[in-house]
Amino acid sequence: MLNKLFGHWSKDIGIDLGTANTLVYVRGKGIVINEPSIVAVNQKTGKILAIGKEARTMVGRTPGYITVSRPLINGVVSDFEVTEQMLKYFIDKVHQESFTLLPRPRVVVGIPSGVTEVEKRAVEDATYNAGAREVYLIEEPMAAAIGARLPVHEAVANVIVDMGGGTTEVAVISMGGVIASRSLRVAGDKLNEDIVRYLREERNLLVGEATAENLKLTLGSAYPSEEEGEGRVRGRDLVSGLPKEISITSEEIREAMQRSVKSIVLAVKNTIEETPPELTADLINRHIFLAGGGALLNGLDKMIAHETKLFVKIVDDPLTAVARGCGFVLENVDQLKNVLVATQKDDYF
């Protein structure tokens, strides 16, 4: 009873709990928070020093007793207590202006499609402990498809590729359910690691994750183009141990990421191969839709189109597709109960 009373003044929210970024959708307002899923912790005291954007500025710049890390790895909870604190921070931030003393919102959280029951339980428990009144889970490819306003309840094939920081989700959706899917732990973070490894092994240059991310965004591509770029990168020379700057081409960055990109394309092809022939036939006149931050990798759509011989389209505002899908479920829960994942409490709203 008290829970419901506090919930009366709380704001229902949808959360895209990503490996790289967390987006929060507030019912009736839209997306109000988009911050890195990063937490800085003082290991001496156990106290959390910063969360989100503030914590990101500390990456690679802290003394040994302060750790700056992501509490989620490959889309799943790796540090339960820190994830709980991060979620509480975002829930409280949403309710700052409303002066709610004890917010108890209903929360829809996007999770990777390949997670285990234990991993689902970890997300659910962390969200409850962070202050949620009710917690409901939705698979990220389904949320992305809903966020992109695809006709997921119609008897047609909707193919969605959601490439985030930790995972790439591929799903064929029809009649409100997932017909075939793949969850691949190869995504944006893996591409960054590929660039770091390439520079270390081929150019004897040690760079950090942030530098690799910047190279991916500025020079990275999945498919050759007529306009190949070139840039400069700074790091530590592995031979002399001193700072060094070198030039690097977009062709080299593409070569560094080649294996991971091919594994993503293979996952798309394998998922389509598992689709019933009646739905596969639909794809001749329909698109494969790309969502998530990885959709913005230059030439990824062309690469998938070349390999599958199908039309490929990047959804509008791919970075927010999952969060918008979670929000749409909040706004239309009676019509979309069947897309939610079964949880500890199966009483939907």
294 is in an annotated binding site: yes
| Final residue of a structural domain among 234, 256, 278 | 256
176 is in an annotated binding site: no
What is the DSSP annotation of 184-231? ES-SHHHHHHHHHHHHHHHS-EE--HHHHHHHHHHH--SS--SS--EE
CA distance 315 to 176: 19
**CA 329 distance to own-chain centroid:** 18
296 is in an annotated binding site: yes
Q: Please check whether residues 108 and 40 belong to one and the same domain.
A: yes
Domain count, the chain: 3
Q: Please check whether residues 177 and 282 belong to one and the same domain.
A: yes
pTM above 0.85, yes or no: yes
213 is in an annotated binding site: yes
CA distance 341 to 322: 15
Position 72: which residue type? L
177 is in an annotated binding site: no
Sorted by sequence, the CB contacts under 8 Å of residue 134 that are 6+ apart come out as 106, 107, 345, 349
Dmax over CA atoms of the chain, in Å, equals: 67
190 is in an annotated binding site: no
Q: Is the dihedral of CA 229, 235, 238, 242 positive or negative?
A: positive
Residue with tokens 């973070």: 189
Residue 349 lies in a domain: no
Q: Please check whether residues 171 and 307 belong to one and the same domain.
A: yes
User: Which CATH number belongs to the domain containing residue 203 in this structure?
Assistant: 3.90.640.10
Per-residue pLDDT of the chain (349 residues; tens, 9 = 90+): 445 544 455 689 999 988 889 999 998 889 999 999 999 999 998 888 999 889 988 887 889 899 998 888 877 888 888 888 898 888 888 887 665 556 788 899 998 887 888 888 999 999 999 889 888 899 999 999 999 999 999 999 999 999 999 899 999 999 989 999 999 999 999 999 999 999 999 999 999 988 999 999 999 999 998 778 899 999 999 999 999 999 999 999 999 999 999 999 999 999 999 999 999 998 888 999 999 999 999 999 999 999 999 999 999 999 999 999 999 998 887 778 888 887 655 544 4
192 is in an annotated binding site: no
214 is in an annotated binding site: yes
21 is in an annotated binding site: yes
Domain that holds residue 231: 188-256
122 is in an annotated binding site: no
19 is in an annotated binding site: yes
Other CB atoms within 10 Å distance of the CB of residue 192? 25
130 is in an annotated binding site: no
Q: Please check whether residues 218 and 171 belong to one and the same domain.
A: no
215 is in an annotated binding site: yes
| Final residue of a structural domain among 256, 272, 302 | 256
266 is in an annotated binding site: no
